[in-house]
Amino acid sequence: MILGLSRSWSVSGYLIAAIITLPLIAIIAQALVPDEAVFSHLLETVLPTYIANTLLLMFWVCLGSLLIAIPAAWLVAKCNFPGRNIFQWALLLPLAMPAYVVAYVYTDLLDYAGPLQKLLRELFVWQSPQDYYFPEVRSLGGASLMLALVLFPYIYLLARTTFMEQSSSLQHASRVMGCGPWRSFWRLSLPMARPALAVGVALVAMETAADFATVSYFAVPTLTTAVYDTWLEYGSLSAAAKLSAIMLLVVFSMIGFERFARRKQQLFQKQTGVNQDERYLLKGGNAYLASGYCWLLLFFSFLLPFMILFHYAWGYFEQSWSSEFWEYSLNSLYISAIVSVIAVFIGVLLMFIRRISPRKSDLLPSRLSSTGYALPGTVLAIGILVPLTYLDFAVNDLYEYLGYRGPGLIFTGSVFVLIFAFCIRFSAIAIGSVESSYKRISPSLDMAAITMGLKPKALLCRVHLPLLRKGIFAGLLLVFIECMKELPAALLLRPVGFENLATYVYQFVSDEQLEHGALAAIVIVLVGLVPLIYLNRSLEQES
Amino acid sequence: MKIARSLSILGLVCLTSAANAAEKLTVYSYRQAFLIDPILENFTKETGVDVEVVFSKKGIAERMVREGRLSPADIVLTSDFSRLMELVDKNLVVPASSEVLNNNIPAKFRSPDDSWYSLTMRVRNVYSSKERLGKLAIDYEDLADPKYMGKICTRSGKHPYNISLVASMIAHHGEAETRSWLEGVKANLARKPQGNDRAQVKAVKEGLCDIAIGNSYYLGKMLQDPKQVPWAESVEINFPNQANRGSHINVSGMALAKYAPNKENAIKLMEYLSGDEAQKAYAEVNYEYPINADVNPSELVASWGGFKADSLPIFKLAEYHKAAVKLLDQVKFDL
């Protein structure tokens, strides 16, 4: 681009990137501090189990999500059957469910005291747990299933889009060569969807690694819970930082995997979508099967948990409809609102610099700033508290040096720390959202604007912003719902006396009485539904 | 002149914020805020001092270490004894030294150097199924008896309440014997340790097990929740070891934070919490045994009958805390 962009733009870009990568650096620095043998003790005793659990969990969740999502995605993309139009968006709904809420609901249903086992006992006249076998819900397998049930939509969404975009001429060719739907799925659609599936798997794996509440509810120790416990129970920040570093290794290798997969994806991108008449028209038994499968999936991943949640909330409405409920809802809403505005601001600024800067090096800030999302909440919390505590003490020391009473913990002791953490974690989402919107604005527009004498600021405000509206709105929504749901960071960083909906709901889950917090959980789900439906609609309009 | 004026304004701001702070107390609490909120509201009404409670299940000590001299905490409330010890070990508390506290709280329920105080007492009870076992005269030692094979439910062994119980076993029987006891109990478990104390009683109601280990006040609290009433009504509450040393008791407690910004008011609140009014509230609302001998347990709690408590001084348990955790790991109690 020919536009001369003043240094101050790049400097602000680098500044933002530096702030966002600060926690990462802090963790590495803290991990190098000796920790009085806590880490070596962990390594000798429990750490191998934690690592094995984490990897196994990631493996099972990814496998489970793939198995659930691919058939659904293929059916919706390539076939016509009753209900297809509903499933197209409805299968995204589980994303709005916090996994620990689903876990709680299913534990209630499936454990020994639950209605299912009770029914079985009555039917078969079993007396005690020794009389029959029933899989333990609170186990690694159970946790994998729960997480797969809420995370599969990531893969579903990506797979569906790829299946839809797959060139119809290839499809025709395969038909001409005598491939039926099955063969063409195995030999054509699936291999071609591999890059997109890899991206989805990487996302699911990252979310799994970051999960805290589900595994701690199921008493399955993983690296995330280990970071939490090592920090809070053993009281060793450095040992926790060392664990975090291990975890980052796992997460970054996932990202590397994703990048690697996406490199190949370029090859397939420029192809046209499927037309209505090219879908297989399912009839009779097949149509029922397809429809039934999607209904079952929707039922177990969303409808059933949501109905039970509603039932809880109904029964405990009096206790739940309290002033606290309102206060915490407001806390969640205003924090999420502030964070989404800041994150989108960062996203627009960084992508603008990247777009119009003539310097190659100005690519770096937006790349660096996207790493924040890779830090699981617990790890991020450590990475933030270390530098901000230093800052707090520095400020107070300065005050006292000047002879004043210090202001106290203004950074780590206020909502600042939460907002800061959320911005770091979720800016990547806003950046991605703005980025994809920018791709649709032709560079010739910029050139025309510059020819007409527009300065960078005017170019941004008068040309780009109006055209980026959709991406900005999507970014705002996505960041907003992530902030509403984010638990571990909120749990560890919340200041004195502060609760939001997520911490409030989790408190009831860990006390085994979600009934009292069901209303709050419903609010989280409902707030999450709005952006999902909106985003899906705009996705459909594009294709 | 200008500088002097702005400095004086700044000073004024600092002063007023300091004055405001003096009328506000910050309590870090391992106990859920709603348990103590009504009590604190009364305190505010009487003294005009606002109290803000921060509840956290874990990590309060860690937080105070990090906050150091800038910590806003005045008082820490804990739900069990080992947390009090943790605060002492990490040098986060200072002696409160108050005549009133010493009068209200019996010597065996406070630290010899005044650095911590108990507030309420709870028994680690053994609940038994009304239908299948009835009322039992049981000892903790019996929980390892093979006749209860597959019949016992408990929460995680590493929960502070259970660690305390194990520590008391070590105090009375030594490590080797406690280890084989733990192995025996583990062999008798109906399922992997999980859930909280209420969940164990629920499991008895459902027939998953016949015996549940749980704190005394949970029975009272379950009777307050319509969904949980049937659970509570399905069990008998038993006070173990009545024929010998008495039942294991644990305490909830409080301590004065080392860097408490408002020590004077903090001690006032501590005194209030140990006084008749607050103790009565603890007894009536939370069904715990008041530490203050002048206050009676609630009617419901009294209806469970009197009991003999283990005479081992509570701070003796601290010595065996680490050993207890180690033993629980060694026998893989939770796995």
Domain ranges of chain B: 2-121+250-296, 122-248+309-330
- Three-class DSSP labels, A123-169: HHCCCCHHHCCCCCCCCHHHHHHHHHHHHHHHHHHHHHHHHHHCCHH
Q: How confident is the model at residue A272 (pLDDT cuts 50, 70, 90)?
A: low
A475 vs A339: CA distance, rounded Å: 11
Residue B325 at interface with chain A, using a CB cutoff of 8 Å: no
The closest alpha carbon to A127, from B144, B147, B131, B138, belongs to B131
Task: Check if the beta carbon of residue A95 is closer than 8 Å to that of residue A150.
Answer: yes
For residue B63, pLDDT over 90 is answered with no
Q: What's the whole-number average pLDDT of chain A?
A: 85
pLDDT tens, residue by residue, B179-191: 999 999 999 998 8
CA-based nearest residue in chain B for residue A235: B62
Report pLDDT for A322.
81
Least confident of A2-16, A95-109, A464-478, B196-210: A2-16
- What would the CATH number be for the domain defined by A37-109+137-315? 1.10.3720.10
Of A229, A315, A511, the CB nearest to B196: A511
CA-based nearest residue in chain B for residue A414: B72
- Provide the ipTM: 0.74
CA-based nearest residue in chain B for residue A233: B59
β-pair partners for B75: B27, B256
Q: Would you give the DSSP letter of residue A462?
A: I
For residue B21, pLDDT over 60 is answered with no
Residue A482 is encoded by which pair of tokens?
């992530």
Report CB contact under 8 Å: B52, A496.
yes
The stretch A71-97 carries a mean pLDDT of 89
Ramachandran region of residue A403, left (φ > 0), alpha (ψ -120 to 50) or beta?
left
Residue B217 marked ligand-binding: yes
Report pLDDT for A166.
75
Domain ranges of chain A: 7-32+334-500, 37-109+137-315
SS3 of residue A439 by DSSP: coil
For residue B24, pLDDT over 50 is answered with yes
Q: How confident is the model at residue B157 (pLDDT cuts 50, 70, 90)?
A: confident
β-pair partners for B249: B123
Report pLDDT for B11.
45
Higher pLDDT, A87 or A536: A87
B136 vs B210: CA distance, rounded Å: 11
Report pLDDT for B19.
40
Least confident of A184-193, A220-229, A437-446, B14-23: B14-23
B327 vs B182: CA distance, rounded Å: 8
Q: Which of the listed CATH numbers 3.40.309.10, 3.40.190.10, 3.30.420.40, 2.70.50.60 matches domain B2-121+250-296?
A: 3.40.190.10
Least confident of A170-179, A243-252, A309-318, B247-256: A170-179
The stretch A239-255 carries a mean pLDDT of 87
Q: Would you give the DSSP letter of residue A514?
A: G
Asked if domains B2-121+250-296 and B122-248+309-330 share a fold, the reply is: yes
SS3 of residue B240 by DSSP: coil
Ramachandran region of residue A481, left (φ > 0), alpha (ψ -120 to 50) or beta?
alpha
For residue A402, pLDDT over 70 is answered with yes
Q: Chain A residues with CB inside 8 Å of B53's CB?
A: 497
Higher pLDDT, B285 or A268: B285
Q: Which of the listed CATH numbers 3.40.50.300, 3.40.50.620, 3.40.190.10, 3.40.50.2020 matches domain B122-248+309-330?
A: 3.40.190.10
The stretch B145-173 carries a mean pLDDT of 92
The stretch B100-129 carries a mean pLDDT of 92
A7 vs A353: CA distance, rounded Å: 11
Residues in A whose CB is inside 8 Å of some CB of B read 45, 112-113, 118, 127-130, 136, 138, 219, 228-229, 231-233, 235, 237, 315, 385, 389, 392-393, 396, 404-406, 408-409, 412-413, 492, 496-497, 507, 510-513, 515
- Helix/strand/coil percentages in chain B, nearest 5: 50, 15, 35
Report pLDDT for B312.
87
Residue A285 buriedness (CB in 10 A; 0-12 / 13-18 / 19+): exposed
A274 vs A280: CA distance, rounded Å: 11
Q: How confident is the model at residue B15 (pLDDT cuts 50, 70, 90)?
A: very low
β-pair partners for B27: B53, B75
pLDDT tens, residue by residue, A419-430: 999 999 999 889
For residue A273, pLDDT over 60 is answered with no
Q: What's the whole-number average pLDDT of chain B?
A: 87
pLDDT tens, residue by residue, A331-363: 999 999 999 999 999 999 999 988 887 777 778
Report CB contact under 8 Å: B59, A231.
yes
- Which residues neighbour A516 within 8 Å (Cβ) at sequence distance 6 or greater? A316, A319, A320, A508
For residue B205, pLDDT over 60 is answered with yes
pTM for this predicted structure: 0.82
The stretch B147-153 carries a mean pLDDT of 93
Secondary structure (DSSP) of B133-194: T-S----GGGGG-GGGTT-EE-S-TTSHHHHHHHHHHHHHH-HHHHHHHHHHHHHHBSS-S-
Q: How confident is the model at residue A447 (pLDDT cuts 50, 70, 90)?
A: confident
- The winner for highest mean pLDDT among A233-237, B60-64, B177-181 is B177-181
The stretch A448-472 carries a mean pLDDT of 86
Asked if domains A7-32+334-500 and A37-109+137-315 share a fold, the reply is: yes
CATH architecture, domain defined by A7-32+334-500: Orthogonal Bundle (1.10)
For residue B4, pLDDT over 60 is answered with no
Of B32, B65, B192, the CB nearest to A235: B65
Q: How confident is the model at residue B12 (pLDDT cuts 50, 70, 90)?
A: very low
